[in-house]
Structure 1
């Protein structure tokens, strides 16, 4: 359980990277984007006709030459046209938004699956869960609503201001009174908003992480009587979230009222100055009426733009956090993959590893495991056995030295290739929601029912699997498997995946000792020809291995067969005598 008050978090993409991603999306969907923009432009242009016609009508009425029926018909025609065009524009924008959102979600899932397990463990589950849930939801809201509405509002504002200038440049001058106010308020807000919303999202992640740890480790918390520390951690996390929320609320409380005043000022200024200009004969009554209607009409899109500006900042922060997941995975070279039937030589050369600087768990480990060899790693608790298994599985890179498979450094292998070559099975197993068959064939989609039956029989799991049926629902919402059954399911998946190198760390610990030994021998037969490194907590596992390596204090102190090491009377012989009482 993580008790560090300053846990590592996954990276966050820079503002430049977010803009670059937005440009790539725009280029990739150039056609639909231009189509939606064209529809928004036509809809906004249609909405500019009615104020102009109404202004002319008032001018004509004042002169006694008005053709009211003709003007009303034209106004109705353009209003209907605007409604139709706006509906089409909204549909086009929504379709584009859903397409972009689907791509972003798929890219995010791909990036999450590409994360090395060590990165996830170091960051904590809270940060990743928060990005997967809240940040994706916020991004969804931005893409589905904020972007289309902002697109329409921005287009309407630009066209309306252009039309206002065409009516009479003099009447465009009153609008300038809002520019300094809106510019200053927006600049002040944008300089602070991104960091504020990133801090707010990070505070949610920390709360999630802390509560998850406390819930998962509830028994440990109770046994060690550290509930007060976990409560203090939760209180501190909530307090930090409160401060972050209060800061963004402060930004909105300053920005939005000033903006509201800013876009109301042009209406009053246009009426006052327009009246003065009309009385002095500089503009016509139609121009004053049209300009006032345009200024009044532009308030709504400006209001929409200012409203969604806040949501866009939240969405931008969420996009930065989802994009940041990609930066958490180290770059790997693309190396050729040997055929599945050959290879599997594992090498460790001068390997050192420390979870914390200055506290080595493994020290100068040099080891060779030949293809098809079954190696058992034994030693007292804390000797570094599981850490060695994690390094061989590529979960952790060594602090120094190299870990190789077929002379290729694991850190250089593409992640897909690494996972195809090496598999780690521990006592922690996950049963996915779905059928028993689906839980099995995820390791080999082409597997037939006969193959599944053969593997399950080899692992003594066919009786309970056949009783339930391969189409039985298991996992969340389905039948619950016992820990031993879940462990057998994981071993069956391993056999179906057929990796070159298998690392077993307490893989049969949930089975009874006699059953565990039988399953291990069956698994060895199924994995014949594969390199197997077994972290042996039960020494009968070591007894059955081709070779045994003994670790003490992170160092290899003995290596040989069971009989050789027992005759040598060293560390392994002492463990064997102790295990046999």
Structure 2
């Protein structure tokens, strides 16, 4: 069941986003009403010219009327250009603001939301739906509002000529508005389905393109193309149905106008034959009747965009109604290394499928912890909970002695830094990648970070220094991780999480990474998800995970010297076999 969007919803949307641009909106309104006045004056000048010429009036009066006609024509073009520019300017300013608000809202939603929605679907929501609304702000509001007042002006002037003609055209206009109002809700399901089809198509493309290497190496190109044709065919069918509905609505308006035009022309001839109208008055009614075509056509055209705007607005409102389950705290985290404590923590992504069960551990400030365990044992989940991407189902996590729910998310994520194996490199300059587009980070701090991490040699190979443009494909795995180390170093966190930084690297790069890791962990609390013996030798404490439980924990030296400990047995058997 598709709910209808009320006029109050549209008014609230207009007020919220147009209010900051009040002067521009006021100027746009001035252009709109000036244009309406000029259009209504056109037939009056022509009627004066016709009646004056028919009655043998002065030549000077005819020349004067022709001059006014020409001046009105030139003024209309100026007003049209100014109104078009202001309409587009206001429309795009408003929708860019809306796009920013929606993107900010999505970025603040929980990870569970992002796991349920593909990036392509969110791009369609943030960009596609707001682009649809841009026409509502830039054209629909101006043109339909302007068309309404043009209709009102035409009817008022027709009533002045003859009340019977005015009454007939008024009834026709009311019937037309009633029909148009009824069609508002007819096409919404079709346009909503069209946007949903595009959302699925873009989501499908994003997922397949991001995994293009796996698709090719596994010979799945044909299968992907088959799925693409199915998704594309579904989107095509939705577009055909929505466009057909739009064409049907336009036809309805066209038929209405033809009937109204015939009515007005017939009554004009009748009143002329009765001696009530002059030839000029008949022309005036005919021209005003013809003029009705423009607002009715504009409304019939823009009604399609209103339906699309309705569908887009409903989808945007549905997205806004999704609220983050993570409630922000207000506590601030002090500087320096921080202690980390998990107290009987349990967690599951889906009910009935526990990932962590009764996990308890404590890491003192300034020490480094090595997390060991098989893939899927819960190590990565542990780090996600420390960032508070999710809230625990039971138990409590404390950072620096403070429960995570009491801390502000901004402070938490500033004081905890993480380097993963899959580093996100943006197609931008080295400066923008290091500072993550934060213009307040100065070059001196960036250069100092690179030097401290032993990256000066790499930096000097860059042709344009910090202004060198880089992409993900243009950096090796080692260079990408070094870049990530510098990012974390710049933020100066109290806790650093490393997901096996030396994994799958050549010996030379591994030595460079090892130096960077030592510098990054100096004076900070560290958590390392370990897969190699060399990494384990670097840590102070060990925790071994298995199936979401802590099997063993203690200082590395104590566990290594105890032949009965699981860690000592792993060292003897080979750590790589256990962590595979």
| 1:380 maps onto 2:368 in alignment | no
Question: Deviation string for 1:510-532 (max 9, x for gaps)?
Answer: 43367546634543433433332
1:393 is aligned, of 369, 387, 390, to 387
TM-aligned CA distance change 1:78 to 1:167, over 3 Å: farther
Does the 8 Å contact 2:331/2:407 carry over to 1?
A: no
2:455 is aligned, of 461, 474, 478, to 461
Question: Deviation string for 1:43-77 (max 9, x for gaps)?
Answer: 21122112123234434445445743333333333
How many residues are treated as equivalent by the alignment?
Answer: 569
| 1:35 maps onto 2:30 in alignment | no
- Alignment map for 1:356-367 (pairs within 5 Å): 356-367=350-361
TM-score (structure 2 length as normaliser): 0.86
CA distance in 1, matches of 2:308, 2:409: 32
| 1:427 maps onto 2:421 in alignment | yes
Question: Deviation string for 1:20-46 (max 9, x for gaps)?
Answer: 332212333333323321221122112
Does the 8 Å contact 1:393/1:503 carry over to 2?
A: no
Tell me the equivalent position of 2:468: 473
Tell me the equivalent position of 2:435: 441
The alpha carbon displacement at 1:497 in A equals 1.3
Does the 8 Å contact 2:342/2:397 carry over to 1?
A: yes
Tell me the equivalent position of 1:9: none
Tell me the equivalent position of 1:26: 18
Please give the secondary structure, in 1, of the residue aligned with 2:421.
Answer: coil
Does the 8 Å contact 1:353/1:399 carry over to 2?
A: yes
The alpha carbon displacement at 1:219 in A equals 4.3
Tell me the equivalent position of 1:8: none
Please give the secondary structure, in 2, of the residue aligned with 1:371.
Answer: coil
| 1:131 maps onto 2:125 in alignment | yes
| 1:572 maps onto 2:567 in alignment | yes
Question: Deviation string for 1:535-571 (max 9, x for gaps)?
Answer: 1122432332222111110111111011222316243
TM-aligned CA distance change 1:122 to 1:350, over 3 Å: farther
| 1:506 maps onto 2:494 in alignment | no
| 1:485 maps onto 2:486 in alignment | no
Does the 8 Å contact 2:133/2:313 carry over to 1?
A: yes
2:268 is aligned, of 274, 277, 286, to 274
TM-aligned CA distance change 1:530 to 1:241, over 3 Å: same
Structure 2: tracts of 5 or more residues without a match: none
Root-mean-square deviation over aligned CA pairs: 3.4
Does the 8 Å contact 1:546/1:561 carry over to 2?
A: yes
| 1:75 maps onto 2:82 in alignment | no
Does the 8 Å contact 1:114/1:415 carry over to 2?
A: no
Tell me the equivalent position of 2:82: 88
- Alignment map for 1:15-414 (pairs within 5 Å): 20-65=12-57, 67-176=61-170, 178-179=172-173, 182-183=176-177, 185-221=179-215, 230-281=224-275, 285-321=279-315, 326-328=320-322, 330=324, 333=327, 335-338=329-332, 340-342=334-336, 344-406=338-400, 410=404, 413-414=407-408
TM-aligned CA distance change 1:291 to 1:553, over 3 Å: same
Please give the secondary structure, in 1, of the residue aligned with 2:186.
Answer: helix
Structure 1: tracts of 5 or more residues without a match: 1-11
CA distance in 1, matches of 2:358, 2:318: 35
Greater displacement, 298-307 / 545-554: 298-307
Greater displacement, 263-272 / 283-292: 283-292
| 1:519 maps onto 2:513 in alignment | yes
CA distance in 1, matches of 2:110, 2:57: 79
TM-score (structure 1 length as normaliser): 0.86
